[in-house]
Amino acid sequence: MADWVGMGDKQLNSLVSLIEDLPLSDLRNVWFQHDGAPPHKVSGVQQYIRNTFQLQVIGYGGCVEWPPRSPDLNSLDFFLWGYIKQRVYVTPPPTLQELRNRITDACASVSPAMLYNVQREVQSRVQKCIVADGHLFEHDR
């Protein structure tokens, strides 16, 4: 675990605790999507990712290939992070606990209808990527 470069001990311990606290039935549904960040490429981190997620790794070193830096195809980048930030930072959170509460509330506010729209957008973007033969492509926002 000491090989997690760029991540403080406190953040690493929080991440490991979060993963370890998940019931096994939930962990079976969790996938790690590798964003290609250099800290994730360290051998100790790679081993932890393989041990924890086994065949459920998307991207660098994973069973499912995913192009690095591909926000056009990544719903976390083109939808979720912006939506969460918009809801969380309407005003600066006064405490760490308030920040956590806002993040939890923002995630809980994502409706099935929103996810349906995101799924349709992913399908549209994938189709445009296929037409562009995997190269950069323009998309409507």
Among residues 71, 79, 84, the alpha carbon closest in space to that of 117 is found at: 79
What is the value of pTM for the model shown?
A: 0.52
Question: How far is 120 from 118, CA to CA, in rounded Å?
Answer: 5
Last residue of a domain, one of 66, 83, 117: 66
Q: How many domains does the chain have?
A: 2
User: Residue 80 belongs to what domain range?
Assistant: 69-140
* Same domain as 42, residue 74: no
Q: What is the pLDDT of residues 24-72, one digit of tens each?
A: 777 777 787 777 777 777 888 888 888 888 888 887 777 787 766 565 6
How far is it, in rounded angstroms, from Cα 71 to Cα 121? 12
Q: Indicate whether 81 and 121 sit together in one domain.
A: yes
